[in-house]
Amino acid sequence: DNNLFQTGEIKINLNDGKPVITEREYLFEPGMTVEKTFFIENQGTWDVYYKLYFDNVEGGLADVLDVEIRGGDTVLLGGKISELTKAQVGAVDDVLKLKDGRDLTVSFHYPESSGNVTQNQYLSFDMKADAVQTKNNPDKLFD
């Protein structure tokens, strides 16, 4: 009768649900780099490990554009969008403390070496975040 159990809540605010880059905002061409800022915030009940990734990736530019997500000068994630999916990325090497947030920057670079071979290609994706509590999770497992 006197046993009390409590569970935690994981709640992440990724840029207030607003897109980091909007459809048709840019017409990418070789040599072009676009940087956009966004934020992530821990609104849960405990410190969390988090990972950022791309989902619903479509289009030929997924294997062309170089993407980098930074927190200040620290690179948190980088590569081709097609390689940065939920199954392929791990936790960011950072703990997001309770009620804490991070201002982040994502850059999209169209390598000049791609030339016009990828002309008329497109890219569509959703940027997402997952989190797990740090408590009792030293291996940063996202089960």
Q: Three-state SS for 40?
A: strand
Report pTM.
0.89
Three-state DSSP string of 48-91: EEEEEEEEEEECHHHHCCEEEEEECCEEEEEEEHHHCCCCCCCC
pLDDT category at 1 given cuts 50, 70, 90 is low
Instruction: Note the pLDDT of residue 70.
Output: 97
